[in-house]
Structure 1
């Protein structure tokens, strides 16, 4: 009887320790930036890369799927992806500084192997990639922009001019600087060798006044 009681107590202690450890791990992961090796993940053999200046050297959180898989996602899955690409904590995603209301992002696409090693050379898409931008937060209805990326002088590099969309009353103050800050959810759809892909990500834009 005593042995059974001791086993039950030991089992209870082990369960409690497991719950405590799990809670600590969950809280820690929720309060720290997403690790670099989890920021750009693809469910295909193609990765989308983005390049623009960020003062904190943060990289975007990108997820890539075939268009067929992406189109099968339910609303709950899309909401989860929006939260994921928006970062674990405030300031987890890169910020594009707008100059006179405009900032430029460079997009490129590369093929990876089974070991997640990126092959050399940028991929030229079958057609100009489509881009959809949605405001992540706004005092009014979210703004949605459908557009097309622009080709650059370098093969496989595509450009897009991001413009300020929020009204002037969405202004925040930091120290002595006044600036407009906007969160954007970005979806890029493109075709490579006849196969369609979708990459999603999120960034912030900052325009100093």
Structure 2
């Protein structure tokens, strides 16, 4: 049963959201580290080689980031519980009231159209494709930015070869991102074309 839970579409969507959030938190931390390395590079060599401690700006950014994450966790849990409660209470407790005759006549052509097109694409599946495409593009963008931040830090501390290798990795990720919308466009067409 637990394997079915992890294979459910909602669990996959949640995992993609968490991965995207983690990548962008890494982007934030790595760019702060790169900024500190660049600031040290701009100072005199005696000051940068002494390494007396971490600048106060780095502690400030780390503290603000940690506060945002800690404040977001209860909100996410509350939203998850509210979503679960809303879906469980969405089942009608009593039978639906009878529709007026005019509404029934207006709904008849729509019902006939639905019967003529049994393979119409599912709106939830289409929404899921769009969501996953957006999350995949955002995650790949964050991964490329992580590589750029690490490469910038390495360049500032005089590791030139490793820095250029990581710039190359960022370029490969950026060029490869073209495949993400193409893949999801194929998935979208696979959902829409049978209905046509």
Query: TM > 0.5 between the two?
Result: no
TM-score grouping bracket, smaller chain normalisation: under 0.3
More strand by share: 1
TM-score by length of 1: 0.23
TM-score by length of 2: 0.24
| Larger relative contact order (Cα-Cα within 8 Å, sequence gap ≥ 6) | 2
Which is higher, the Rg of structure 1 or of structure 2? 2
More helix by share: 2
